[in-house]
């Protein structure tokens, strides 16, 4: 089933393999170049079912934390993305944009405005470290408006949908995480109230785009600030967390793990994506070092190609619906075809050199 067609909402995909979003830092001035278009085009030609863009900086003054990340808030940037989309569509590919606000990962002194600090729910950048700006309710509303406008632009220029980046210690995840969300208003407190920022974003986007436009959310237990962090310690808590997100009307959930083969709770051998699928009953993506022999700790660490039999088995058992592949696809744009045709020995291993170029 992994290599067979799949329909996400009304979008027909040629298989269930997703290119995971991966930051490339190769869009000077926030503008995707022709080289960026060719990079994504090669993955579409290599028969990736659904391409997720690298994180696109939200059109908000505090969204940035890394250099040369693409944006949407200029006509030149949107024209650049239109060029990317056209290249992908020419190869019969499908593409979703990931909208990304760095939140706690931004520090004062960073571009584009060094005077703007990181924005977080309570001014915490990590537990106990009050190094960011505490967002007012008005600033929360402004951020929601920025997500909505960027999603509207994404639909206008031809993306098939968007993913809200709600994982890994960035802004939306900062609201999810009780370790740094100490708010006592509608946006903090219980696990349900900590989802309100994300659900308000999703509802606003959905009400401002057409019905066929896909809207999803990526989430994780782990954070860059703390690999051992947990939003939910049991399936019961995970249900409390997921129910309001699902009820916002989203079309898919992207469950990010560092090692997709590991069980999430002591209750069973099931991973986070399997629990997410069971609880939510909506399309779910599993991700976490798929196709490699080592987990994600350091993007510069090498990793060799590995079997994907577990992912194939999980898909066949309908434990989740799609599998996202990151570093393996970064190294080899033909990974899908080679794995489908049982040519594991021909797959290019992942090395840090893959980060330095757009292969």
> Which residues are part of the catalytic machinery?
170
Cα–Cα distance measured from residue 55 to residue 163, given in angstroms and rounded to the nearest whole number: 9
Are 255 and 173 within 8 A, CB to CB?
no
Cα–Cα distance measured from residue 72 to residue 41, given in angstroms and rounded to the nearest whole number: 19
Q: Which residue in this structure is represented by tokens 């950048």? A: 125
Cα–Cα distance measured from residue 199 to residue 177, given in angstroms and rounded to the nearest whole number: 15
Concatenated DSSP letters of 90-128 = HTT--EEEEEE--GGG--TT-SS-TT---EESSS-SBTT
Angle at which helix 196-206 crosses helix 235-247, to 10 degrees, equals: 30
Closest by alpha carbon to 203, among 165, 277, 138, 147?
147
Q: Is the peptide bond before 112 cis (omega within 30 degrees of 0)?
A: yes
Are 50 and 200 within 8 A, CB to CB?
no
Closest by alpha carbon to 217, among 262, 247, 193?
247
Name the β-bridge partners of 219: 166, 255
∠169-101-179 over CA atoms, to 5°?
A: 25
């Amino acid at each position: 089933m992994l290599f067979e067609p799949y329909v996400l909402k009304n979008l027909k995909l040629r298989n269930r393999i997703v290119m995971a979003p991966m930051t490339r830092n190769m869009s000077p001035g926030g503008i995707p170049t022709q080289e960026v278009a060719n990079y994504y085009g090669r993955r579409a030609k290599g028969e990736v079912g659904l391409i997720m863009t690298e994180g696109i900086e939200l059109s908000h003054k505090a969204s940035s934390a890394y250099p040369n990340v693409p944006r949407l808030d200029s006509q030149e940037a949107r024209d650049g993305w239109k060029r990317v989309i056209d290249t992908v569509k020419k190869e019969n590919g499908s593409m979703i944009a990931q909208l990304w606000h760095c939140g706690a990962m931004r520090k004062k002194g960073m571009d584009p405005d060094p005077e703007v600090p990181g924005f977080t729910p309570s001014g915490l950048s990590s537990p106990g470290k009050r190094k960011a700006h505490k967002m007012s309710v008005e600033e929360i509303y402004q951020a929601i408006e920025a997500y909505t406008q960027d999603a509207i632009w994404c639909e206008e220029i031809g993306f098939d949908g968007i993913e809200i980046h709600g994982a890994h210690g960035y802004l939306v995840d900062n609201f999810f995480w009780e370790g740094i969300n100490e708010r006592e208003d509608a946006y903090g407190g219980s696990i349900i109230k900590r989802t309100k920022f994300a659900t308000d974003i999703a509802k606003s986007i959905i009400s401002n785009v057409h019905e066929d436009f896909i809207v999803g959310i990526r989430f994780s237990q782990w954070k860059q600030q703390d690999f051992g962090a947990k939003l939910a310690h049991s399936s019961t808590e995970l249900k409390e967390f997921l129910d309001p997100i699902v009820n916002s009307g989203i079309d898919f959930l992207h469950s990010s793990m560092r090692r997709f083969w590991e069980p999430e709770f002591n209750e069973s051998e099931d991973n986070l994506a399997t629990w997410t699928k069971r609880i939510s009953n909506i399309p779910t993506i599993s991700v976490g070092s798929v196709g490699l022999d080592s987990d994600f700790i350091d993007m510069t660490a090498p990793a060799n190609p590995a079997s994907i039999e577990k992912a194939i088995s999980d898909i066949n058992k309908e434990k989740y619906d799609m599998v996202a592949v990151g570093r393996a696809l970064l190294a080899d744009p033909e990974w899908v075809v080679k794995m489908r045709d049982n040519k594991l020995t021909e797959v290019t291993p992942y090395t840090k050199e893959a980060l330095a170029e757009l292969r």
